Amino acid sequence: MSDKCKEQKHKENKLESNILETQILTDADTYPDNSVIEKALGADRFGLFLKFIEKIEALNLTIEWRYYNDGKAWLGKIWYKKKNLGWLSIWNVGFKVTVFFTEKTIEGFNALGIDIKAQIPTGKLIPILMTIKDDKILDNLISILKYKKELK
């Protein structure tokens, strides 16, 4: 990558980091089907979202959307059979997925070698929060979901 490209990328990242992130899909009466999500994300981010859906369906995972009054927004629960693998949310900067681990299972996550730091633990759970911005982050997320799916 040329120095000019690196400089432009740095400027874009700096601008993006100054954006106040807000969760969207806050209307309890509007179910988040694909047309609603496309409108919320925009064409580019929706394309990445469709790749995400394709990849999780290939793993036999499903998303169950539900409106939560405590957060006043729709969240998608990512399921494998009866096992909750993570939470999907739609934001003004794209979509995010949070996957929770325990002290026992975080070691396996660390062994994946993905450069993401765990958040501050919530009780006994350790959240991994990812904002899905590109194919590399999406692939990392899929690796994490595969790992969590295989846990007993």
pLDDT, position 15: 47
CB 97 within 8 Å of CB 88 = yes
**Res 117: pLDDT:** 78
3-class SS string, 110-147? HHCCCCCCCCCCECCEEEEEEEECCHHHHHHHHHHHHH
Q: pTM for the full model? A: 0.84
Q: Which stretches of the chain drop beneath a pLDDT of 50?
A: 6, 10-11, 14-15
pLDDT at 10: 46
The string of pLDDT tens digits covering residues 15-39 is 455 678 999 999 999 999 999 999 9
Contact indicator for 96, 30 with CB cutoff of 8 Å: no
- Structure-token pair, residue 66: 């539900």
State residue 102's pLDDT score.
93
3-state helix, strand, coil in the chain (%, to 5): 40, 30, 30
**Residues whose CB is less than 8 angstroms from the CB of residue 125 and which lie 6 or more positions away in sequence, other chains included:** 100, 101, 102
Contact call for residues 99 and 149 (beta carbons, < 8 A): no
CATH superfamily for 22-150 is Transcription regulator MotA, C-terminal domain (3.90.1150.20)
Q: How far is residue 143's CA from residue 4's CA, in Å, rounded to a whole number?
A: 33
